[in-house]
Amino acid sequence: MVREKLIQEIIGKNKFLARFKTYLDFCPNYQEGNPNCHNLPTEQHVCFSCYCPHYRLDQEHPEGDCEINSPKGKWFYNPNIISENRRIWDCSDCDFMHTEQGVREFLKSKTEIELQEILEMSPEELRNNYYQERLNLDFMLDRVIGKNQNQNP
């Protein structure tokens, strides 16, 4: 019961309508008052995670991959992409991690201590600390599409 209460508090704290009033400078969409990064009604939009924790782009998944096999993902093809098939997984149309159900399912695997820590984090701390592995995503994407080829991660 304590875990479910913590999960509900985390979701409530990270709903777009709660966040944009407090963290106006965090996201350009907050300044506009419209969570237009996904096509969800404003009152249902949850801003828990800018980077999806289910997206994988690494040596085992050089073209990207979705751990939950979202039907809203698609392959993006471009001749500049450095992969065998010249493609990368594009999940920009997926809104799963911006729904209460998606966030709840993700948080169910966390311990009560982890949930308490997450609840106390600001959006910046969630992005910078909790999802540290996602901060390299832009760099990896640049490498996949052929930019910065001489740099090491």
**Domain for residue 153, yes or no?**
no
Tell me how far apart the alpha carbons of residues 150 and 153 are, in angstroms, rounded to a whole number.
10
**In this structure, what token pair is assigned to residue 55?**
């997206």
153 pLDDT above the threshold of 60? no
Q: Where are the strands (E) in the chain, listed by range?
A: 55-56, 65-66, 74-77, 87-90
**Domain for residue 61, yes or no?**
yes
- Counting Cα atoms < 13 Å in the Cβ hemisphere of 108 gives 7
pLDDT value of residue 1: 82
Number of domains, the chain: 1
101-111: average pLDDT: 92
**Domain for residue 151, yes or no?**
no
Q: Which residue has the higher pLDDT, 110 or 1?
A: 110
Reported confidence tier of residue 4, pLDDT bands at 50, 70, 90: very high
**Domain for residue 101, yes or no?**
yes
**Domain for residue 11, yes or no?**
yes
On whether the CB atoms of residues 16 and 35 are closer than 8 A, the answer is yes
pLDDT value of residue 150: 39
**Domain for residue 150, yes or no?**
no
71 pLDDT above the threshold of 60? yes
Give how far Cα 22 sits from Cα of 34, 109, 147, Å: 14, 28, 36
Tell me how far apart the alpha carbons of residues 47 and 144 are, in angstroms, rounded to a whole number.
27
Encode burial over 61-93: b for 16+ CB neighbours within 10 A, e otherwise: ebbbbbebebeebeebeeeebeeeeebbbbbee
Domain carrying residue 17: 2-144
**Domain for residue 107, yes or no?**
yes
Q: How many angstroms separate the first and last alpha carbons of the chain?
A: 42
pLDDT digits (tens, 9 = 90+) for 20-53: 878 877 777 777 767 667 778 888 888 888 778 8
pLDDT digits (tens, 9 = 90+) for 82-92: 778 888 888 88
Q: What is the mean pLDDT of the chain?
A: 79
**Domain for residue 23, yes or no?**
yes
pLDDT value of residue 142: 55
